[in-house]
């Protein structure tokens, strides 16, 4: 009897092992397939996932991060947007508001956004020529267009955080998790800005008490655009707060805007009491197209 049991057991054992191995291999394969499907679907070769992020109405879902990116046509534009999208795609509950400095939505940006796999809104407004001079603040109209869209399309029921994400900066993923808990206005250090390695709000006992900055520390809020985020409800409850052209001096955009919605003592310091750099004010070198031949152009048109 015992020997019969053992012989059956040893005959069955290899088969059981084979079945277990096959099940294991198959789950691994399907998880690889899922990952591939995830990315391919974002590239448009498979059915698309819903594009619009939950508007943050669900009380249990985390607040949506709305990143406002002004952008303008130039040789490196698509490269910049690609870098940004590769970062933003990894941020959950995210909505990208891209505002072109252009008379209309360009083909390049429209095509790019359609394939970027991110919940997004595509706006445009052209900066008047008289404001396109060195020393003049940039992207004022574009950021205001985004604020206008938010005020029109979001309500007191929505939970979110608004952040101004220029197209050439570098963003760590941690930054988005830090800003997500912004109750009113949150601040943190910015790397490679103001002629220094970094600038940062000075914090004492959990409160902002001053600014470590490269220049004009006397500004009420001596902070770069990449150094703060605003709760969506603060944007909605201050409907007249905008970025100003009139009377605005270069480098005062941030301070002039923040003055309208908060006080220094109410700022919420993030990134370990403003001791960690999670965003860098990088700038892309002007590209050299000196060898672009005037005559011998390629026979096909290729978007760059």
Known binding-site positions for UDP-alpha-D-glucuronate: 70-72, 101, 138, 143, 166-168, 281-283
CA atoms within 13 A on the CB side of 69: 29
Using CB under 5 A as the binding rule, whether residue 166 contacts Mn ion is answered as yes
| Whole-number Å distance between alpha carbons of 211 and 222 | 6
Q: Is 205 left (phi over 0), alpha (psi -120 to 50) or beta?
A: left
Minimal distance, residue 142 CB to Mn ion, in Å: 13
Using CB under 6 A as the binding rule, whether residue 139 contacts ligand UDP is answered as yes
Q: Give residue 96's Cα distance to chain centre.
A: 6
Minimal distance, residue 284 CB to Mn ion, in Å: 8
Q: Running DSSP on this structure, what letter comes out for residue 191? A: E
User: Which range in 19-27, 63-71, 117-125, 257-265 contacts ligand UDP by CB under 6 A?
Assistant: 63-71
Binds Mn ion (CB under 5 A): choice among 141, 168, 178, 268: 168
Q: Tokens for 37?
A: 């499907």
Q: What is the footprint of ligand UDP within residues 24-53 (CB under 6 A)? A: none
Using CB under 6 A as the binding rule, whether residue 254 contacts ligand UDP is answered as no
Binds ligand UDP (CB under 6 A): choice among 132, 153, 197, 263: 132
Using CB under 5 A as the binding rule, whether residue 224 contacts Mn ion is answered as no
Annotated binding-site members for Mn(2+) = 168
Binds ligand UDP (CB under 6 A): choice among 53, 64, 72, 95: 72
- The residue annotated as part of the active site, out of 100, 141, 178, 254, is 254
Using CB under 6 A as the binding rule, whether residue 168 contacts ligand UDP is answered as yes
127 binds, among ligand UDP, Mn ion, none (CB under 5 to 8 A by kind): ligand UDP
| Whole-number Å distance between alpha carbons of 228 and 179 | 8
User: Which range in 69-77, 81-89, 172-180, 289-297 contacts ligand UDP by CB under 6 A?
Assistant: 69-77
Strands 160-164 and 228-231, bridge-based pairing: antiparallel
Q: Are 136 and 243 in contact (CB under 8 A)?
A: no
Nearest to 101 by CA among 138, 65, 60, 57: 138
Catalytic status, residue 107: no
DSSP 17-79: HHHHHHHHHHHHHHHHHHHHHHHHHHHTSSPPPP-SPP-S-STTSPPEEEEEEEE--STTHHH
Using CB under 6 A as the binding rule, whether residue 241 contacts ligand UDP is answered as no
Binds ligand UDP (CB under 6 A): choice among 127, 213, 231, 262: 127
| Whole-number Å distance between alpha carbons of 57 and 154 | 10
Binding site for ligand UDP (CB under 6 A): 69-72, 101, 127, 132, 138-139, 142, 166-168, 283
Positions annotated as catalytic residues are 254
């Amino acid at each position: 009897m015992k020997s019969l049991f053992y012989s059956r057991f040893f005959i069955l054992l290899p088969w059981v092992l084979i079945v277990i191995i096959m099940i294991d291999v198959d789950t691994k394969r399907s998880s690889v397939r899922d990952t591939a499907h995830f990315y391919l679907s974002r590239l448009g070769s498979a059915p698309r996932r819903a594009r619009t992020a939950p508007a943050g109405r669900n009380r249990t879902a985390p607040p949506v991060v709305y990143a406002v990116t002004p952008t303008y046509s130039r040789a490196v534009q698509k490269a910049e947007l690609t870098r940004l999208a590769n970062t933003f795609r990894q941020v959950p509950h995210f909505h990208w508001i891209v505002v072109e400095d252009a008379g209309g939505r360009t083909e390049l940006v429209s095509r790019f956004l359609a394939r970027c796999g991110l919940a997004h809104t595509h706006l445009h407004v052209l900066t008047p020529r008289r404001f396109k001079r060195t020393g003049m603040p940039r992207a004022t109209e574009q950021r205001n267009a985004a604020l206008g869209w938010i005020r029109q399309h979001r309500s007191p029921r929505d939970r979110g955080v608004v952040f101004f994400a220029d197209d050439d900066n570098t963003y760590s993923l941690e930054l988005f998790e830090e800003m997500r808990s912004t109750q009113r206005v949150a601040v943190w250090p910015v790397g490679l800005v103001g002629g220094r390695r970094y600038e940062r709000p000075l914090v004492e006992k959990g409160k902002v008490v001053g600014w470590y900055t490269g220049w004009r520390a006397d500004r009420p809020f001596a902070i770069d655009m990449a150094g703060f985020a605003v709760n969506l409800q603060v944007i909605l409850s201050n409907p007249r707060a905008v970025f100003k052209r009139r009377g605005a001096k270069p480098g005062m955009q941030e301070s002039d805007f923040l003055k309208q919605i908060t006080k220094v003592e109410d700022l919420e310091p993030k990134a370990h009491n403003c001791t960690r750099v999670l965003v860098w004010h990088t700038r892309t070198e002007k590209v050299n197209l000196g060898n672009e031949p005037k005559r011998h152009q390629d026979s096909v048109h290729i978007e760059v």
